[in-house]
Amino acid sequence: MSLLKVNDLKVHFPIRGGFFKRVVDYVRATDGISFEIEPGETYGLVGESGCGKTTTGRAVIGLNHVTSGEILFEGKDIAKLRGKEKRLHTRDIQMIFQDPYSSLNSRKRVLDIVAEPLRNFERLSPDEELSRVQALVERVGLNPEAVYRYPHQFSGGQRQRIGIARALTLNPKLIIADEPVSALDVSVQAQVLNFMQDIQKEFNLSYLFISHDLGVVQHLCDRIGIMYRGRLVEEGLAEDIYENPQHIYTKRLISAIPEMDPAKRLEKTHLRQAIDEEYYAGYEQSFDENGRLFDLKKISDSHSVSTP
Amino acid sequence: MGNTVLEIENLRTSFSIGEKYYPAVDDVSLKVHENEVLAIVGESGCGKSALALSIIGLHEQRTTRLEGQVNFKGQNLLKLSRKRLNKIRGKEMGMIFQDPMTALNPLAAIGAQIEEPMKYHLKLSAADMKKRTLELLRRVGIKNENRIYSQYPHELSGGMRQRVVIAIALACDPVLLLADEPTTALDVTIQAQIMDLMKELQAQMKTGIILITHDLGVVAEMADKVAVMYAGQIVELAEVNELFNHPMHPYTRSLLNSIPSNMPNKDKLHVIQGIVPTLQKLERTGCRFAPRIPWIPASEHEENPIIHEVKPNHFVRCTCYKNFHFEEGELGEDDHVLT
Ligand SMILES: Nc1ncnc2c1ncn2[C@@H]1O[C@H](COP(=O)(O)OP(=O)(O)OP(=O)(O)O)[C@@H](O)[C@H]1O
Ligand SMILES: Nc1ncnc2c1ncn2[C@@H]1O[C@H](COP(=O)(O)OP(=O)(O)OP(=O)(O)O)[C@@H](O)[C@H]1O
Ligand SMILES: [Mg+2]
Ligand SMILES: [Mg+2]
């Protein structure tokens, strides 16, 4: 059984306007998305800014109201649960938030922030708690004394790592990692990604890894879903996506990965231009008569593409 | 080269932690000219944002001590009153904050927040302000600008918020732009659009730009000069091609060596071993990078490392670069030649 199975998930936000602040339309941020994640697997959700990645992740952990669809976690539909029952069933799902600062309570010390999920579910002596928190903080590359300080006393990248440590305290089964390393320089980024891979092996963790950058997820994801305007346009194993991309939007994302090898740079520029032309020429054909992207269709056991 | 827009001399920014003050920016001197992009790179926590916030005077006064000089248009900004500083901020000087959510007011609509500096600094009619605002939103790559105009920050995606902060910084055509990780949340296509926008501003206003980023691709694309920071100090400063082609300081060389695509097919990504010490624990005598490269003997470091001009306009701190080599068993250096 898959650990997480999302079925035709929709999250629509009302847009209000006019005199009486009536609902005039909806932002279809997530508009009919389905995917599955196995235990120990990393699933990458990739797409441009505003395409609905965060909305999808927040819906899975229960922070967004679900318009329709199912979210099965260990076989149970958590989209319909409320209150205490929901908290119990979602304790094994944690999220690393895209915006590290506003997601950390500025009045609490790092110790209390990181230990908070622990306190809700486990009884530890203060000493046990402290050493567990310090060990985690050190694993994400911060100094153990950092636990006595407040979020505003940290740099952007340091705060992001506090958020990562917090998500790990309860040894969850699924972590929704929303751009977890985008504020970090390459070396620290590597350190954190290596660490995330280590604990994945250790605890058979699953990741829903959200990113706008296909370059970063390359080393990490088993399977990838490419998201565009609230829908998936392609899904497959990492090698399907990188070596045999089918949808023009996927091709465009891949061609946009920066080329560091100067010898290949010119070749890449030409490829990028050719793909851009194809993209603009064929743009209209990606949508049905209602302006909606087509559903995914299987083209092999592991690989599906949105086509008419 | 154009006139100097900003000259920082011996800037030291210290934060009070417990009873004492600890410098996070330590004796930094830098110049930015008209039309110039100065990139600042360095490990997370090395003091880049602290430096930018010191220039624009946005640290909490109660817990921060500033020493040195920040000269902008013939006046030392560190000595100006709040009121005078407010006049400069948002008009002649724009800032793109690293953390968009703290820079935005959660209770005000996006349109009003972009118009705020215009209202204060430009004499425009309400209709013209709105027109300019919608235009700015489009230029930062926001397609449904009419909807966004009346929405609130929490209703935007992460990358959209970052672009709103960029629009606010550019609203009054600044002559100095401080951009702290302006494109981290953005995909490459929009990133390119934002870089073009900064270049346009530059062509129009001769704007000097301080660009803080950890993305070396962005540095290669945008920067004229690069300052590399480590633990609060500048450790290397050079023109961009020179720095990428002939990096000297061990930190700079390690940094360039950790670019993922420089190490094809490796399971593990390269990591500079060790962590940055906290401000309280940081050893302030001797070479600050020495603990990260323990295989280099102490005799290779200077006792009190100073900045040396090793070639015209190429500056390096400490002498340890002369005999630096990567640790045994580590991958050697690829070339980082930029064409
Ligand atoms: N609470 C909300 N109310 C109204 N609209 C919202 C809300 N949250 C998100 N949206 C809209 O939904 C769309 C998708 O936003 P989302 O945050 O999921 O994007 P994203 O893919 O995470 O983008 P980014 O890479 O920029 O973070 C955007 O158009 C956004 O404005
Ligand atoms: N208000 C503060 N009080 C105490 N310490 C602070 C404060 N602000 C920053 N620091 C510390 O000063 C150092 C420099 O922080 P700064 O935010 O300048 O880093 P940065 O180079 O911008 O890093 P990043 O790339 O992660 O954003 C860090 O060690 C940080 O913990
Ligand atoms: Mg997002
Ligand atoms: Mg910073």
Q: What is the CATH number of the domain that holds B166?
A: 3.40.50.300
Is residue B148 located within the same domain as residue B294?
A: no
| DSSP letter assigned to residue B290 | G
Question: DSSP letters along B33-49, please?
Answer: ETT-EEEEEE-TTSSHH
| Residues from chain B contacting residue A253 (CB–CB below 8 Å) | 187
- Chain B interface mutation, best of A187, A216, A267, highest count of B Cβ atoms under 10 Å: A187
Co-location of B171 and B76 in the same domain: yes
Query: How many whole angstroms from A271 Cα to the centroid of ligand 1?
Result: 31
Q: What Cα–Cα distance (Å) separates residue B161 from each residue in A43, B110, B142, B149, B174?
A: 26, 9, 10, 12, 20
Residues B165, B129 share a domain:
yes
Asked whether residue B193 falls in the same domain as residue B253, the answer is no
Rounded to an integer, what distance in angstroms lies between the CA atom of residue A176 and that of residue A207?
A: 6
Q: Do A262 and B337 touch (CB under 8 A)?
A: yes
Residues B146 and B180 in one domain: yes
In the reported structure, the alpha carbon of residue A210 is separated from the centroid of ligand 3 by a whole-number distance in angstroms of: 8
Tell me which chain A residue has its CA closest to the CA of residue B104.
A102
Say yes or no for a CB contact (<8 Å) between A15 and B262: no
Phi then psi for A96, rounded to 5 degrees? -100, 115
Among B164, B191, B223, the domain-final residue is B223
| Domains present along chain A, CATH in parentheses | 4-92+170-306 (3.40.50.300)
pTM across the whole model: 0.91
3-state DSSP percent of chain A in helix, strand and coil, to 5:
40, 25, 35
> Is B232 a member of any domain?
no
CB neighbours (10 Å) of residue B260?
Answer: 18
Same domain as B328, residue B191: no
Q: Do A219 and B262 touch (CB under 8 A)?
A: no
B113 and B192 assigned to the same domain: yes
Clarify whether residues B209 and B246 are in a common domain. no
Instruction: Among B158, B193, B223, give the residue marking a domain's end.
Output: B223
**pLDDT (tens place) for every residue of chain B, 339 residues total:** 689 999 999 999 999 988 899 999 999 999 999 999 999 999 989 999 999 999 999 888 899 999 999 999 889 999 998 888 888 888 899 999 998 888 899 999 999 999 999 988 888 999 999 999 999 999 999 989 999 999 999 999 999 999 999 999 999 999 999 999 998 888 888 888 898 899 999 999 999 999 999 888 889 889 999 999 999 999 999 999 999 999 999 999 988 887 655 444 445 556 677 777 788 888 888 999 999 999 999 999 999 999 999 999 999 999 999 999 888 765 555 444 333
Domain that holds residue B288: 240-336
Same domain membership, residue B118 and residue B210: yes
Q: How far apart are CA A302 and CA A137, in angstroms?
A: 38
User: Is the residue at B228 inside a domain?
Assistant: no
Task: Verify that B323 and B204 share a domain, yes or no.
Answer: no
Number of domains in chain B: 2
Query: B35 C-alpha vs ligand 3 centroid, how far in Å?
Result: 33
Please report whether residue B332 resides in a domain.
yes
Which of B157, B190, B223 represents a domain boundary (last residue)? B223
Q: Do A260 and B280 touch (CB under 8 A)?
A: no
Coil, strand or helix: which one is A47?
Answer: coil
Within a domain: B235? no
Do B101 and B202 lie in one domain? The reply is yes
